[in-house]
């Protein structure tokens, strides 16, 4: 009986640890996505601020209507896919460097920030 109780306690502990790992991973992914969102806003060229203010996080991406970045968050079994998205028709041109304010676009800075937060540089 003692082995059975010990194994049961061990199983419960492993399941609790797995739940904590899942929550910690999800929290880290969310932190990275919000850091990426902040970077997207700060690095988007500004005229009237419309492009900056249109960045958002979503879990589906209609590539016909929305320009988005898909960081490696969907590779985790701990989180649904998440995208940094902007549905303005000219956002891709801004990211391609068509603004003298940000000739390198926003993607390199966004990806670097997310990678930094995830610790995957």
pLDDT of 56-109, one tens digit each? 988 877 777 677 666 554 445 555 678 888 989 999 999 999 999 999 999 999
Give residue-wise pLDDT tens across range 21-30.
777 887 888 8
pLDDT average, residue stretch 14-24: 76
Domain count, the chain: 1
Task: Classify the C-alpha dihedral 46-50-51-55 as positive or negative.
Answer: positive
| Range(s) of the domain holding residue 65 | 2-118
pTM of the model: 0.77
Where would I find the H helices in the chain?
2-43, 50-53, 91-95, 107-118
Instruction: Tell me how far apart the alpha carbons of residues 68 and 25 are, in angstroms, rounded to a whole number.
Output: 22
Q: How far apart are CA 76 and CA 14, in angstroms?
A: 19
Q: What is the pLDDT of residues 30-42, one digit of tens each?
A: 899 899 999 999 9
């Amino acid at each position: 009986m003692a082995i059975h109780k010990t194994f049961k306690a061990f199983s419960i502990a492993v399941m609790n640890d797995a739940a904590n790992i899942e929550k910690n991973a999800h929290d880290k992914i969310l932190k990275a996505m919000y850091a990426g969102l902040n970077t997207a806003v700060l690095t988007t060229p500004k005229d009237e601020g419309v492009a900056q203010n249109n960045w958002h996080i979503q879990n589906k991406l209609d590539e016909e209507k929305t320009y988005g970045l898909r960081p490696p968050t969907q590779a985790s079994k701990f989180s649904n896919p998440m995208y940094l998205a902007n549905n303005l028709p000219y956002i891709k041109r801004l990211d391609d460097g068509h603004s003298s304010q940000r000739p390198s676009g926003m993607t390199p800075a966004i990806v670097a920030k997310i990678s930094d937060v995830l610790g995957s540089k």
